[in-house]
Amino acid sequence: MEYLSGLDYAIIVIYFCALVGLGLYLKGRASASLEDYLVGGRQLPWWAIGMSGMASFLDIAGTMIITSFLFMLGPRGLFVEFRGGAVLVLVFMMLWAGKWHRRSNCLTSAEWMIFRFGDGPGGRFAEFIRVVAGIVMTVGMLAYLIKAVGLFLSMFLPFSPLACALVMVGVASLYTMVSGFYGVVFTDIFQSAIILIAVVFISVLAFMKVTDAGSLTEIAIAVTGNEQWMSSVPHWKTTMPPGYEAYQDLFMFAFFYLMRNVFSGMGVGDDPKFFGARSDSECSKLAFLWTWLMMFRWPMMMGFAVLGIYLAHDLFPDQQVLRDSAALIKTHVPHALKSDWPALLSSIIHSSGTYSSELIDGLRGLLGEDWTRKLQLLSFEGTVNPERILPAVLLYEIPQGFRGLLLIALIAASMSTFDSQVNMTAGLWTRNVYQRYLRPHASTGELIYSSWVFIVALVGVSFLFAYSIESINDIWGWLIMGLGGGLLLPTFLRLYWWRFNGGGFALGLACGLVAAIGQRLLIPGLDERWQFLILSAIGLAGSIVGTYLTAPTDPEVLHRFYRTTRPFGLWGSLPDLLSAKERATMRAEHRREIFAVPFALLWQVCLFLLPMQLLIKTYVPAALTAVLLIVGVVGLYFVWLRHELRSE
């Protein structure tokens, strides 16, 4: 089976060499100081950090998941991804959360805990737990990326998913280690350009494939069984294939995820991109640009989904053969597990001689002479595997040469997510553990070397976790709704309640973290909604208990935090520390930011939905979405943006 041409391989090799070369070139600037290594010396322009943000939120794993939901649901797949893929938290980063964190002048999110709670036992406990939580979250995120990269690349290369993931992650680790935040930003800009080329190519190809909305409707219903596939409305009930039945209550999921994003978004912003921004205004501008650039992701993913619909229709006009093929494999490999299914299929395809002739002949009889090609798309449940639609489209619908370019674009997307996450977590270890407690007087070089050792260990543990995962949707759901739910309320309360202290944050985060890990080990199949509700309640209970069992934050620390950050919320008498003019200015700023939220959310959702509607040629819904988009933009401008521009 021919996977890629010589030209495709050449493009991939050149790309990897360029990344490593850029990382080595930036090594000198990154090693000048720890501040340079972690946040780029706070000298990088907002547009560069905004472009880097777009690239860091666009990865193979997320792109495969979102494409799978768009394949199953049509444009309504956007509403499932309110849980994370639609990045609604960007609204809150843009309006206030980003600049609130930048004002601290900290380098990491754990260091910020000292700024908020003081350098006593409570603050140090909060700092330590924040490091632990950051490491656990990153292990989960990297496992999710590694699993997806293995699934993706093993469809193009004659190697196992593990071997494919090792190569890509190895290269990403190398340039992240040597170039720090400079490497993250500048390689992300380079990779953003590649991604935009892929967006245009796939969108145009899919648009030309769709002759009209009516014909696409017929094919989509035949492939997915979903009669509402062309709709952009989140229905109360919708048809879902085996393994995804939980998402039948689409409207309820969308609303639930939206509420989760509101609370989550109000607690975010402790990202190196905001710590590295040069001013409050640049925090808003980089997040504004970041959101606009994220729009380009959606027509590309919709394009992959549409091409996948046509491909699945051509390959499996009768989908009964999929159910029969899965049953045949399970008969001959009776101990097959869902988590091992991709590796098993890869083994059958590449090492067919090690399996019985009855199995191979049976698959050939069911799927035809090109059975190896079709087997890649077989799910454990005996349906088209939606998580493999994206790589299947690349493999079977894209000409050689272009295939290598698009493959690089998606690898670039995953690389950019990987480097941002690893750089941020390495900063927690180096700044808040190694330098603070182990080697306070270590040189810059020693600190950077310690981060290298940490990165290697972090990636190794993530590989071990990756191969216990059944699917990328499985781990993504747990990261966002389980682990994310457990950490949500302690992270939220630190910005909005004066009495909340280091003990409350530390105990709340620790309870949420332990409960989320326990749930993953003991009840991995728990519904995402229950994961979120139960684990959020545990995190909240730990926060309240810890707050009232320990002494309040030192008044001097609290006063400094309030004067510097200027947050809204439950701050008791602290506003009296400010002059009447300062209070009036601050309250006007807060009103603008809060009133801008519905306009900003409307703008962002319509911004992502509109290009997908245009691509599948549903022009009447697209016209309505365009009107709502204009309402959102105009409202956002008059309520918030014009005041931000004046304040520069």
In a domain, 355, yes or no: yes
Count of other CB atoms within 10 angstroms of residue 494:
26
Written as one letter, the residue type at 553 is: T
Of 430, 420, 436, 431, the residue nearest 452 (C-alpha): 430
Q: Is position 544 within any domain?
A: yes
Same domain for 203 and 81: yes
DSSP 552: P
294, 182: one domain: yes
Alpha helices in 57-211 (DSSP H): 60-73, 77-80, 89-92, 98-102, 109-117, 121-153, 161-209
**Is position 587 within any domain?**
yes
In a domain, 82, yes or no: yes
Q: For the domain that residue 555 is a member of, what is the CATH number?
A: 1.20.1730.10
pLDDT along the chain (648 residues), means of 10: 66 72 59 53 79 75 86 90 85 93 88 92 91 87 77 71 73 60 62 78 89 88 86 84 78 84 86 85 90 90 93 85 86 78 79 84 85 82 84 81 72 67 80 84 82 84 76 74 87 94 94 91 82 92 95 94 94 90 92 95 95 93 96 94 72
- 548 with 584, same domain: the answer is yes
Could you give the angle at the alpha carbon of 320 between the alpha carbons of 317 and 323, nearest 5°?
130
Asked whether residue 260 falls in the same domain as residue 280, the answer is yes
End-of-domain residue from the set 382, 414, 432: 382
pLDDT of residue 620: 93
The verdict on 352 and 432 lying in the same domain is no
Q: Is residue 390 part of a domain?
A: no
How far apart, in whole angstroms, are the C-alpha atoms of residue 596 and residue 288? 13
Cα 186 from Cα 188, distance rounded (Å): 5
DSSP letter string, 273-323: HHHT-SSHHHHHHHHHHHHHHHTTHHHHHHHHHHHHHHHHHHH-SSTHHHH
Does 1 fall in a domain? no
Sign of CA dihedral 231, 237, 239, 241: positive
Q: Which two tokens stand for residue 403?
A: 């295939």
The answer to whether the CB of 398 falls within 8 A of the CB of 406 is: yes
Q: For residue 28, what are its two tokens?
A: 């000198």
Q: How far apart are CA 277 and CA 170, in angstroms?
A: 29
* Same domain flag for 203 and 240: yes
Q: Is the separation of the CB atoms in 91 and 467 below 8 Å?
A: no
Pair 420, 481 in one domain: yes
Total domains, the chain: 2
> How high is the pLDDT of residue 590?
94
- Confidence (pLDDT) at 26: 59
Query: Domain check: are 336 and 457 in the same one?
Result: no
Together in a domain, 165 and 66: yes
Q: Is residue 388 part of a domain?
A: no
Q: Describe the chain by its helix, strand, coil percentages, rounded to 5.
A: 80, 0, 20
Q: What is the pTM of this model?
A: 0.82
d(CA 322, CA 378) in angstroms, rounded, equals 6
Q: Tens digit of pLDDT for each residue in 68-118?
A: 999 999 999 999 888 777 889 999 999 999 999 999 988 888 889 999 999
Supply the pLDDT for residue 24: 61
Is 615:299 a contact under the CB 8 Å cutoff?
Answer: yes
Classify residue 257: in a domain, yes or no: yes
Can you tell me the distance from the alpha carbon of 475 to that of 151, in angstroms, rounded to the nearest whole number? 14
Asked if residue 300 lies in contact with residue 203, where contact means CB atoms within 8 angstroms, the answer is yes
The domain in which residue 339 lies consists of 317-382
Q: Are 244 and 161 within one domain?
A: yes
* Residue 175 near residue 23, CB atoms below 8 Å: yes
CA dist., res. 218 & res. 110, Å (int): 53
SS3 354: helix
C-alpha torsion angle, residues 98, 106, 487, 434 (rounded to 10): 150
Please check whether residues 147 and 175 belong to one and the same domain. yes
CA–CA separation, 629 and 544 (whole Å): 41
pLDDT at 1: 42
- 342 and 279 in one domain? no
**Single-letter code of the amino acid located at 372:** T
Q: Give the span between the Cα atoms of 525 and 25, in whole angstroms.
A: 46
| Residue 298, both tokens | 């959606």
Residue 57 has what pLDDT?
A: 74
Beta bridge partners of 322: none
Q: Are 504 and 544 in contact (CB under 8 A)?
A: yes
Query: What type of residue sits at position 68?
Result: S
Alpha-helical (H) ranges within 388-443 are 389-397, 402-429
Domain boundary among 349, 382, 415: 382
484/462 Cα distance (integer angstroms): 18
pLDDT of residue 11: 74
